Structure 1
Amino acid sequence: MTGFSWEDLWVFLNRRADDVLELTRDHLVVVLISLVLAALIGIGLGILVRNRWVARTTVLTAAAVAITIPSLALLALLSPILGLGWVPTVVALVFYSLLPIIRNTVVGLREVPLPVLEAARGMGLGPTRVLFTVQLPIAWPVIMTGVRVSAQLTVGIAAIAAYVAGPGLGEYIFRGLSSLGSKNALNYALIGTVAVIVLALVLDAVLILIARLTTSRGLRV
């Protein structure tokens, strides 16, 4: 392998800046699409199973087992069915994102103090209004923590989706690894990896801000 040089890396980055920005944009878009879908599914499932022991245990166990499947294996299984590119990537990312969101939704909702729920019912609120006006707002910080964990998982696994021609920075990482010994192999892998890390940090900071802005003032730490 050729030796590393900061000067060569800087030249490489300047020449491919537009390409890196485009890959970063695609990486972010596929992550956001997957995260929104996972949040809708995960929060919905968490709400449905929160008070049902058998259903709750089944869903959480299934999600926990699912996340142990190696990402390359899952992508390889999905590609003959869904083809290459965005679709198998989104399906895989949603698949891996569900556990933290479901688990935190269940935990957050079940940890709402019983006296608070009894007070809400005593004021004449029905189950649906109690859920949306009392339970979800109180559980929201815990739910958003699950979303943040899923976001970090998604950003990392999205890079592996280049295996099935998925969008994003994984293209550079795989290109670098597949051309070890060439002049720019290390530059490709390094730029792709660093960009993924930076994207993960920026996305987490944005989600922290969103969580703070959408949490009731009385619950903010």
Structure 2
Amino acid sequence: MPAPRGSGCGGCGERPCRQHRRRRGGQAGEQRFVLICSRSLSGLPCFAKAFLDRRCPALGYSGAGFVLLQRMVEQKTGLPLAQYMDKEVFAPLGMKNSSYALSPGFELAAGHTKAGAVIPGKRNRYPESAAAGLYTNVLDLCRLVCYLNKAWTASGDIAGPLSKASTRTLLTAGPQPTMGRGFFIAGSGTNSFCYTHDGSNYGFKSVFKGYPQLGAGYAILANGDNMNLVNEIASAIRSVYGWA
């Protein structure tokens, strides 16, 4: 459901802060910008930015940016995001339990608070689908990781939604050395090179990570609001297998 509006940031309800103040007009030469705020899959609240100023960074974390990208895809293809992703990504990769639909047809888990209580309504529904609305499970996420690992290391294109060139672009650092196009990356140019993303919606926490050169990876999904537990499990996996 849409995030509540109130005394906090318009669109997410967080406490107002300097990053979210809107400035329009002003004296000649004064910085002019608008910051777009959206709750996003990563769980980094309220820092999605869209600047109207050449002096601002060329790349920043932006859940709102993915909402705009969603609308671009929908307008270009004439399909809702859920249908487009089913056709172009999930079906080719065998991800049968993944969907961007608001109410997918497969069984859904109920989210829980840190205290263990089921959250109201069992789960929130997010119309800003590209940023916060993916339903999936660990098997499907691991199918995605396996595909990206193979597409990265293959000598040419393999069957699937991305060409080798697109995969390389996706997982290669841009202006910021720790960010690819949609993933966080580390260890570029080494056997420990990896890409990762975490997830944080109310009542749910997650993380997945892939190591293309090692042909390895993992995915952890929890229907509880305790990211510390997810990080502890991830740390244990990396320790057992000797992964960075």
TM-score by length of 2: 0.23
Greater relative contact order (Cα < 8 A, sep 6+): 1
Q: Which has the higher strand share?
A: 2
TM-score by length of 1: 0.25
Q: Which has the larger radius of gyration?
A: 1
Q: Which has the higher helix share?
A: 1
